[in-house]
Chains A and B, each alone.
Chain A
Amino acid sequence: LFALNGLLYILFNLASGHVRKFFLTLSDAKQVHSMVAYYLRLRKQSPQDGDYNPLQKMAYTGVFVVLTPLVLFSGMAMSPQLNVAFNWLPAIFGGRQSARAIHFILAFGFLFFVFGHVFMVLTQGFLNNMRSMTTGWYREKIQIRKEAPRALPETRPDIARALREEAPPAPEKTDAPGEALRAEDGVPHPVLQLRPMQRPSLLYGRNRRKRKMSTPNLKLNRRQLLLATLHSTAAVALSGCEKTFDSLSESETVQSILASAEQANRRVQRMLTTRNKLAREFTQEDISPIFRANGNPPPMTMDYAAGAKNDWADWRLDVTGLVQKPARLSLIELKSFPSRTQITRHDCVEGWSAIGKWKGVLLEEILKLVRPRPEAKYAVFRCMDTDSDGNNYYESIDLIDAVHPQTILSYELNDRPLPVDNGAPLRLRVENQLGYKHAKYIRAIEFVESFEKIAGGKGSYWADQGYEWYAGI
């Protein structure tokens, strides 16, 4: 939505030639410092020439040319499937975690821009701006006559008196705002106009001639307003919205929209990735000292303990379902298949990453052995671990990912037998997806046409809890 909308806005502005008005040019860049000085009240004359001043242009250009593309690319650099499609993507940010850091920092850049933008709207006449934002019509001039006196009578008797004495001159329109402004050499910043030493007639003279640019019309003390904006933004951002947000994300309509977005996302990402393109593989030096383990605690059932005896000598992998030739394999048999060793990065949905060296049998070899029937669409991995409610962990992938050259059933991590924390005796590695797809403690693989009748029906323990089944993201 954000991207489409932004694209529409940019296209429209390009088409209408509006862009020229707010894009920073070289000559504008030279004036940025004088605009800063002007805002800091160090300089009396605004260097503005046109509808937007150099600082505004800098902010808008920054958002469009720097912030938006960077935030999009750093976001995409976190997607496992897109990392397979475009290996260089995380690298340009200096690594996947760097991309994540930059992504969050840029998000605060947006927040800063929005805050500044809204602050300007509030200070430059809230109601009038709201009118033009909803109806398109912005009221000029009249507001000066109405509001300036209303805001001042008690505190500024001098101005109020002067206002009564001096009838406002007849409105005089000018279509060249830049010229009008330039002609006003020596007129102080509008904020200063309300100071007692200021001649009220000047206040009129200036505002009357302005067009298009919003008229500075401060009614609140600037500091109060700043604090109020800050507080309300913080309050809205941190509390009110989250409840709405939580209930929103639980609503069924939103869920179905998100589900179709997930489908579309999977199709687009698959399209972008050449079949069998590999995820980046790292070197021995890149391996994380500790490969973090998450999720359910290691299964502590009698079965699991019994299986672990004698290096899993009695453990068997059952391969069943829609296959020509079901199989029952021991760990030693699995190790006798051709193996693949890969040093890859594991990306958790939480945000952390770890690099490990995995050795295992290609899942494709198992497929060749059992020969799935044509109607089989998914491989479901049955695991031995359970959550605190006793629900068994399970995962599933489709047969496209199942035959990917990096999809392995791993029995070794960093040249040692798979530790219990990392899924002993056997875990799945599916390198184009997030960590939760990499099922641990596997006891069986079942080939199915649909997973609707399995557990929650969404195809995976976490998908049943509302996570995406497709975690190429």
Chain B
Amino acid sequence: VNVPDEPLDLVYRHNRVTRTTHWLNALALLILLMSGLQIFNAHPLLYWGNTSEPEKAFFSIGAANDDGELRGYMQLYGRQIDTTGYLGVQQGDFAPSARAFPRAGSRFPATIRLPARAAGTFSSAGCSH
């Protein structure tokens, strides 16, 4: 197919301010979203109201110990979806661990098996007191 040899027809579409603000915005949003996910991971439950009683969370990502198998789940208004390998549980270096959003380099979906004693509750790293 021969291409007609015509000069490029360029239209000046985005000015400098639009361009720089957009790229900065992309950077800022990326940082905000990533740090937001990290913050969410510290307590992956959402509630309505002023206080947080875990059994009243309308949304949560968690892990449950199901006969020695750590099972990741996502809960919304009491309905649970099994998300093992994607959310709630991830394959760590030695054993699977409970974690809402997976960490870098984790293989997923991952099949997960662990001894019954490793209870699947989220450890409360971070907040003391």
Contacts and interface: CB of A to CB of B under 8 A. Distances in A.
Interface of A: 1-2, 5-6, 8-9, 12, 90, 94-98, 100-101, 104, 107, 110-111, 114, 132-134, 136-142, 145-146, 149-150, 153, 160, 163-164, 167-168, 171, 211-212, 237-243, 245-246, 282, 286, 288-290, 292, 294-296, 345, 348-355, 393, 423, 427, 434-440, 461-462
A167 B33 CA distance: 50
B46 interface: yes
B106 A239 contact: yes
Contacts of A142: 6, 8-9
Contact of A149 (B1, B33, B36, B128): B1
A97 B51 contact: yes
Given A12-B21, A350-B42, A160 B129 contact: no
A2 B4 CA distance: 45
Interface string B1-37: 1111010111111111111011111111111111111
Given A137-B11, A140-B9, A212-B11, 15 more contacts: A5-B24, A95-B50, A97-B48, A101-B46, A133-B14, A136-B19, A150-B1, A167-B4, A242-B34, A245-B31, A288-B51, A350-B124, A352-B127, A353-B50, A461-B128
A293 to B, nearest CB: 8
B128 A462 contact: yes
B28 A212 contact: no
Contacts of A107: 32-33, 36
Given A104-B36, A145-B3, A353-B50, A136 B28 contact: no
7 contacts: A2-B25, A136-B13, A139-B8, A146-B3, A153-B1, A294-B127, A353-B52
A149 B83 CA distance: 45
A209 B15 CA distance: 23
Contacts, number: 202
Contacts of B4: 145, 167-168
A133 B12 CA distance: 11
Contact of B15 (A136, A290, A353): A136
Contacts of A110: 29, 33
A393 B128 contact: yes
A158 B88 CA distance: 52
B28 A352 contact: no
A137 B15 CA distance: 9
A427 B42 CA distance: 24
A255 B38 CA distance: 17
Contacts of B51: 95, 97, 286, 288, 345, 353-355
A348 B127 contact: yes
Contacts of A171: 6, 9
Contact of A132 (B14, B40, B105): B14
B22 A101 contact: no
A393 B47 CA distance: 30
A94 B4 CA distance: 64
B127 A295 contact: yes
A194 to B, nearest CB: 15
Interface string B78-110: 000000000000000000000001111110000
Nearest to B22: A133
A2 B28 contact: yes
Nearest to B32: A2
Contact of B53 (A8, A101, A164, A289): A289
A289 B103 CA distance: 34
A358 B107 CA distance: 47
Nearest to B108: A238
A1 B50 CA distance: 30
A435 B127 CA distance: 7
Nearest to B25: A5
A117 to B, nearest CB: 10
